[in-house]
Chain A
Amino acid sequence: MAFLYEGAAWDADLLRRVYDAIEPIARDELGLDVYPNQRQVVSSEQMLDAYASVGMPSMYKHWSFGKKFAREDALYRRGMRELAYELVINSNPCISFYLEDSTATMQTLTTAHAAFGHNHFFKNNYLFKEWTDAGSVLDYLQFAQGYVAKCEDRYGIEAVEHILDAAHALMPQGVFRAKRSPPLSYSKQIERAKARRHYEAERFNELWYRTVPQSPVGDDEEEYTSLSDGKRPMPLRLPEENILYFLEKNSPSLDGWQRELLRIVRSIAQYFHPQRQTKVMNEGCATFVHHYIMNRLWEKGLLPESAMLEFADMHSMVITQPEFDDPRFTGFNPYKLGFEMMCDIRRMCENPTEEDLHYVPSLVGKTDWRAALREAWAEHRDESFILQYLSPKLMRDMRLFSLSRVEGERHVTVEHIHDPHGYRHVRRTLAGMYDAGRSDPDIQVVGADLRGDRTLKLRYHVVDGSRLADDDAKKVMQYLTRLWRYPILLEYAHEDGKVRDGFSATPDSGVKRI
């Protein structure tokens, strides 16, 4: 059989032939299930542009994207950074970008990586299924872009920026992390409150009433504070972790278009939230897929040796993991960790050892590694994936060890290493590092005195002595006052259950530490 190509040159026809050669391997051998693909060949400038606009093809305009572009462009021009070879969007059809000056081998590899690896992951992982709508995201972005442009025309660029800057600062606090039940209708709530009061009246026990301290939270009805629409009181659903959502619905001082801008920003934040939680899996999946496909193409005699050598070189660059004492070390390489874990799952399905069965029970009895991988890709996020599948063998191979640092101490302590005493602890600690819920500060809206002085109350939950970075927190508080325009209080809820310290801000007098 003839090679798909020889040398570095490629054209549209070759891209198509490559795709046709890859597709049966991906579909029939790996069992991948992908959105239809739309591949775009772009110039380096367009790639930079896509980077700068958080990877989206039609993002609204904002100066921060201009800044990112300028920085990326400067780094690229000075040769300090290489461009990504591909960029892929979680959409249906799945759009992926490829650099025009890549070689034929790179195009083959990136097609397997993005058009099949990432694509399958986007379509099948539960987080993406639950939280993103790949079919409508492009339309939504188009709408957002148009809407922002219209607002700029109507209210001026400054006015729009005024809101967008503040919204961007709150973007990490603009996502829902868990689904909640839909709100009860007002009549249902009254009914329920009545029923409870009735029940309490029936069961009234004076002793109980006198001996047990009352909860400081007031009457049920007290929560039914009035909302901006003015007519019908709606309950504030507190506490609320999605600050942007809360402001959009309840801020006493925003116009309709400003609320819509907040909504756009938080929708985009929500769209990207799954990606933040699945970096290792997503890249691991794509890397595993391209590695498998390239090797299969080679086995089928479709690739010349030179292409395979080029591939091997690139692949090993992608999965380089410097060790912690290497000057190049910048943390875990998600490509490496994900790829190794997935290769390891294959190994554990094919040749499981006693130890594997003990530490990775979810693979017991599974012999079809393809199905096992597909299940892992579909059902996990980084944290749970590591917790479930990281095997002692891989911990030994990567020589993982866990450390702890206590605030104020001048040293870090090695807690556990890759030995039988430490496997579970190391694994748990590593998984914890990928828990977005733990690395993001936990800030919730706990009160908004809408009938009183309209003080917005936020609570930051201290975890293991953590604190917010002061300078930035003050700046974000300043931004918050733009959106609320009444006093704001951010308190620390400490682990001992006490609430103390924090920040207070008013629109006029700025932010203070308390």
Chain B
Amino acid sequence: MRDLIVDGRESPHGKNLGNRQRFIRRHRKDVKKSVDEAIRSRTLKEASDGKSISVPIGNTEEPTFHNDRKKGNRHFVLPGNKTYSSGDKIPIPDGEGGGGGRGKGASPDGEGEDDFKFVLTRDEFLSIFFQDLELPDLVKTSLSSVLLGAPRRAGTSRSGTPSNLDIARTMRMSIGRRIALHRPTDDEIFLLEEREHELASLEIILEEELVELATVRDLLDLLRRRQIVVPYIDPSIDPRYKRFELRPAPATRAVMFCLMDVSASMSEHLKDLSKRFFMLLHLFLTRHYQDVDVVFIRHTSTAKEVDEETFFRGTETGGTVISSALNETVRIIKERYNSSDWNIYIAQSTDGDNIPDDNEQCAQVMSEVLLPMVQYFAYLEVVEEQTSMISRQKTSLWTTYEQAVGNKKNFAMKVANMATQIYPVFRELFAKRAH
């Protein structure tokens, strides 16, 4: 009876994936809540990594009929008696089921075994994030797939590791060189050697044979020397190695400007919408560019570059002067992001209120300075959820943009009161790039 050893490590992994997907689907609501929480509380970069997500108890329990441990009389045995003898009474400590044994549900306030950390993968995280945004499928796949610089055959090279030696190519080089340099073959030499041997072993030798012997010996000498000089494989000339290249990923740099109005009228809801808007652009950019810089500019009547933490938190009082943010952007671009090296994307999010005097300046900066410099300018006007999208009046900024740059190819604008409405701002951007 011979036993069989199977190396199971080779068999497909992730057999549990189907169960996992079912689990996530079933507890979508809980998982989603955690994802939303993560989107709110994490930075743009962190949020798309898909880190540990804690899924609370919810309805993940699996009930069965079982006896209530607190009811009824129980008899049990314990090990390790030290001082007790028959008839002793032991008081029951508070909150314990019965002194002995244990079991799930022995104490209602014991460790909540159903609350556990659940780690979402990047894909799972994104799919839940996308769910709100109603992205077209093509865009979803192009955003969630990770581009890896996969090595790809790219001809041969003259240097490399022995394991990459391309034997066929090396031998072809060798044969060509040997033919070109007239390297004598072993057969030729062998024939001559035989002739030499034959002649040399003659007891009576004729003169012409003597001459022939001398010629043969000379020739043999020459050929042997040539064989040494022209090696069979010349390590410095013949070897060819398979060359691999990392498939060139779109390898340029991009900078993304997030412009947000932080005047008091921007509520949490509006900021949340804005964050999702920025996140989507960030995802798009990380998909297409190796390095993505993010610049956060917040403004009231003056604009300031801040870090992400400050960007999403807190409001300030003051009027709203949009052009201040635009001018600040221009300044930073000129200072740090020379537009020939950088792809510049700008995402702006406001509630649309602007000081009337400022509109003209906005239009001018946008059409003459900013838009010619950037790849894409996405403007999102966020409004409260209960705002009617139909009867709403156009804001002054909206009108300004519409008139000044509304027809420009690299400009898009949209009003959104819910996350589902964010995507259309990017429609053109994704349509162009998704393939």
Contact = CB atoms under 8 A, between A and B. Distances in A.
A12 B5 CA distance: 7
A275 to B, nearest CB: 17
Given A399-B81, A414-B88, A466-B67, A70 B74 contact: no
Interface string B91-135: 110000011111001000000010011110000000000000000
B8 A40 contact: yes
B64 interface: yes
Contact of B73 (A165, A464, A472): A464
Contacts of A463: 72
A103 B19 CA distance: 31
A24 to B, nearest CB: 12
B6 A40 contact: yes
B18 interface: yes
A270 to B, nearest CB: 16
Contacts of B116: 70-71, 74
B66 A468 contact: yes
Contact of A169 (B62, B76, B77, B84): B62
Interface stretch (B9-17, B341-349, B368-376, B394-402): B9-17
B336 interface: no
B155 interface: no
A416 B20 contact: no
Contact of A441 (B21, B66, B82): B66
B425 to A, nearest CB: 34
Nearest to B78: A324
Given A52-B19, A413-B87, A404 B6 contact: no
Contact of B71 (A398, A400, A403, A466): A466
A61 interface: yes
A172 B5 contact: no
Interface stretch (B22-30, B197-205, B215-223, B254-262): B22-30
B248 interface: no
B85 A414 contact: yes
Interface in B391-418: none
A410 B92 contact: yes
Contacts of A296: none
A425 to B, nearest CB: 9
B63 A323 contact: no
Interface string B116-159: 11110000000000000000000000000000000000000000
B7 interface: yes
Q: Which bucket holds chain B's interface residue count?
A: 35 or more
Interface string B179-190: 000000000000
A310 B90 CA distance: 41
B75 A37 contact: no
Interface string A397-426: 011111111110011111111110110001
Interface string A363-387: 0000000000000000000000000
A74 B120 CA distance: 12
A353 interface: no
Given A41-B6, A65-B16, A405-B98, A421 B86 contact: yes
Interface stretch (A188-196, A217-225, A429-437, A446-454): A429-437
Contacts of A97: 8
Contacts of B119: 70, 74
A330 interface: yes
Given A53-B16, A412-B89, A467 B65 contact: no
B5 A69 contact: no
Contacts of A413: 87-90
Nearest to A402: B77
Interface of A: 12, 15-16, 19, 23, 34, 36-43, 45-46, 48-49, 52-53, 61-67, 69-71, 74, 93, 97, 100, 115, 157, 161, 165, 168-173, 321-326, 329-332, 398-407, 410-419, 421-422, 426, 429-430, 432-433, 439-441, 443, 462-473, 475-476, 479
7 contacts: A52-B16, A157-B25, A329-B102, A405-B73, A405-B99, A413-B90, A414-B89
Sort A-B residue pairs by CB-CB distance and give the 3 closest, nearest first. Answer: A323-B80, A66-B23, A66-B19
